[in-house]
Amino acid sequence: MTEDEALAEFRAAGALLEGHFILSSGKRSANYLQCARVLMNPERASALARGLAQKLPRELRNEIEAVISPAMGGIIIGHEMGRALGVDAMFLERPEGTFELRRGFSLRKGAKVLMVEDVVTTGLSSRQAMDAARAEGAEILAEVALVDRSAGEADLGVPFYPLVQINFPVYDPEDLPPELAAIPAIKPGSRKV
Ligand SMILES: O=P(O)(O)OC[C@H]1O[C@H](OP(=O)(O)OP(=O)(O)O)[C@H](O)[C@@H]1O
Ligand SMILES: O=C(O)c1cc(=O)[nH]c(=O)[nH]1
Ligand SMILES: [Mg+2]
């Protein structure tokens, strides 16, 4: 799947939003990729995961023992990646504010894991999720994401294979352009502020 084909799926799903958004990092943006809208169609979710799996070098792909993804945004695409790669899919969640494996999910020490995200903006969530997975014994081989909003700037410390790279501007809340300052901000994601 090419970048243009993947973006066409976002457009078809009405997932390219415009407005004033508070991102997970606290930064602000006039653009938001609502991946849940893209992934609400199971056929589309599955096709995007197969596209992502094709991005992985064959040797790396063959080494993956499990996929792990950070909730909420990572759960559906993580599950579909598990299907595409023929491995189990687990998720990390943060009921107390930091990512942890719950629900009986566990890893063998040294388990070779692929981290799966829906969106990477600053990479903070990915790095926190990888730290939590390593604390459970994982060796993180690489990360994949539907969208890299940093357009290659985010440093995840492992090889990173996004389906789409895009560079939407982000702003500090104290330094908003007038057109954003003029409209109320909404926070679509679930990270607690
Ligand atoms: O690279 P970052 O700057 O960390 O931003 C990307 C993260 O933000 C979103 O999650 P969010 O924290 O909004 O919560 P959700 O997945 O529970 O909706 C998205 O799903 C990524 O996890
Ligand atoms: O940085 C984020 O929080 C973020 C940006 C985006 O476009 N989509 C999303 O789900 N999260
Ligand atoms: Mg998330």
pLDDT digits (tens, 9 = 90+) for 91-119: 999 999 999 999 999 999 999 999 999 99
State the distance from the centre of ligand 3 to the C-alpha of 115, rounded, in angstroms. 12
Q: Is 143 exposed, middle or buried (0-12, 13-18, 19+ CB in 10 A)?
A: buried
**98 — phi, psi (to 5°)?**
-125, 150
Domains held by the chain: number: 1
Predicted confidence at residue 15, as pLDDT, reads: 96
Annotated ligand binding at 125? The verdict is yes
Please give the average per-residue pLDDT across 179-184, as a whole number.
Answer: 96
**Alpha carbon of 22 to those of 26, 33, 41, 86: distances in Å?**
6, 12, 25, 36
Q: Give the global pTM.
A: 0.96
> Please, are residues 156 and 8 in contact by the beta-carbon 8 Å criterion?
no
What confidence tens digit (pLDDT) does each residue in 107-161 have?
Answer: 999 999 999 999 999 999 999 999 999 999 999 999 999 999 998 899 999 999 9
Asked if residue 187 is part of any domain, the answer here is no
Is 174 a residue whose pLDDT tops 80? yes
Cβ–ligand 1 distance for 150 under 6 Å, the answer no
Q: Which domain holds residue 167?
A: 3-181
Cα–chain-centroid distance for residue 130? Answer: 12
Cβ–ligand 2 distance for 150 under 6 Å, the answer no
Predicted confidence at residue 124, as pLDDT, reads: 96
Asked if residue 189 is part of any domain, the answer here is no
State the distance from the centre of ligand 3 to the C-alpha of 14, rounded, in angstroms. 19
Please give the average per-residue pLDDT across 62-72, as a whole number.
Answer: 98
Q: What is the average pLDDT score of the chain?
A: 96
Is 193 a residue whose pLDDT tops 90? no
Asked if residue 190 is part of any domain, the answer here is no
Asked if residue 192 is part of any domain, the answer here is no
Asked if residue 92 is part of any domain, the answer here is yes
Is 69 a residue whose pLDDT tops 90? yes
DSSP state of 44: H
Asked if residue 102 is part of any domain, the answer here is yes
Annotated ligand binding at 121? The verdict is yes
Asked if residue 89 is part of any domain, the answer here is yes
What CATH number corresponds to the domain at position 170? 3.40.50.2020
Asked if residue 13 is part of any domain, the answer here is yes
- ipTM surpassing 0.85: yes
Among the bound ligands, the one closest to the CA of 15: 2
